[in-house]
Structure 1
């Protein structure tokens, strides 16, 4: 079996795992009967992982049919992976900060998959998978468009329902505008940094030669 075919099947398998984790996380949260669970789809993590499932299915089918991904798919993967990986990093920091503040944050197996295991596997796949194209540097600023739009909507909606998906966005849980802007600025920097690393990996000479050899042998 060609490397691309194997990779296509792996993409479809990852989509199934991600979907199962999302469904479990939704059902697990709803069982707690909290407003956070009722707002499952308001989390950036969940929104980006839903987009990730769709991309994995599309990418898996394309990998089974073509020797190389179209450029739009590679760019889309770079954007979505930047969001999911950053969400995992931010979640890890939140769990740590929650412990420091004496706030209990439960992490079910579905959260572990969505925030830690899938991002780690996708980084490895990004570096090693056959058929990827190089990503233009303009992807880095484009990566910020979604979190900025999501953040603006969240800050508009938060006061209306009295709830925010992440504590550092809630004016009641931060010391003031300085802390809010600091945490928000750090999050945006991480988004951009993750995107830059993904772009850099895609443009590495050794990565391109390996990709070209795989495509030629397919």
Structure 2
């Protein structure tokens, strides 16, 4: 068991390092756009959740090296972060697919591929195969919506002031009206709940179903 946990710890450290490389690479990529303002980089939900993911991966690695199970607070944090980076990837993939049927193409550099696809996928595998996570309550589904809601309100207010939005569906100029923005936001919130519900459900599986032997009563 200790060997397995050590393996998870090493994997999480590598994942944290991969996150740092991806964020640095993406920062360098967006600097290539003449009209891009550096402070806008930190307004992307993907970037913010990616930063949080690095902290979560590093913390989870440290705990895995020292303990056979994760404390509840860490599992709360990991679930929130895993949900956020997964939804970011799904939304970005949807935007890329939609662009292929329109008159423009979205470039997906290696850094963006790491942030939106590879890191979320590995984080999901880490969560699903981790036998040391705690049983989480369903009320966490409500807390999952707190950060995206605050981010959405802040982004809309900031966008109306600076005239820039990180995603097209928040930009009044690029949608057909406020209703379209509301619909996109509601779909995103439902996606957050759906992903978090699946992750929560896996944490509540019987011990044997999660790959660990049941502890004695």
1:87-122 superposed Cα distances (whole Å, 9 cap, x missing partner): 000000111122223222110011111111111111
More helix, by proportion: 1
In the TM superposition, 1:193-204 aligns within 5 A as 193-204=194-205
1:201 to 1:36, Cα distance in 2 relative to 1, 3 A: farther
Secondary structure of 1:142's counterpart equals helix
Residues 149/207 of structure 1: CA separation in 2 closer, same or farther (3 Å cut): farther
Q: Give the alignment's TM-score, normalised by structure 2.
A: 0.93
Q: Which residue of 2 aligns with 1:121?
A: 122
Let me know the Cα RMSD of the aligned residues: 1.7
- Kept in 1: contact 2:16–2:58 (CA 8 A): yes
Distance 1:131 1:206, change over 3 A: closer
* 1:11 paired to 2:12: yes
Q: Which runs of 5+ in 1 are unaligned?
A: none
Task: State the SS of the aligned residue for 2:211.
Answer: helix
Q: What is the TM-score normalised by the length of structure 1?
A: 0.93
Aligned partner of 2:181 in structure 1 is: 180
Q: Which has the higher contact order (CA 8 A, sep 6+)?
A: 1
Instruction: Indicate conservation of the 8 Å contact 1:30/1:38, yes or no.
Output: no
Shift of 1:38: 4.6
Mapped contact 1:202–1:208 kept (Cα < 8 A): no
- Cα distance in 1, alignment partners of residues 188 and 122 from structure 2: 22
Aligned: 1:154 with 2:155: yes
Single out whichever of 174-183 and 32-41 deviates more from structure 2: 32-41
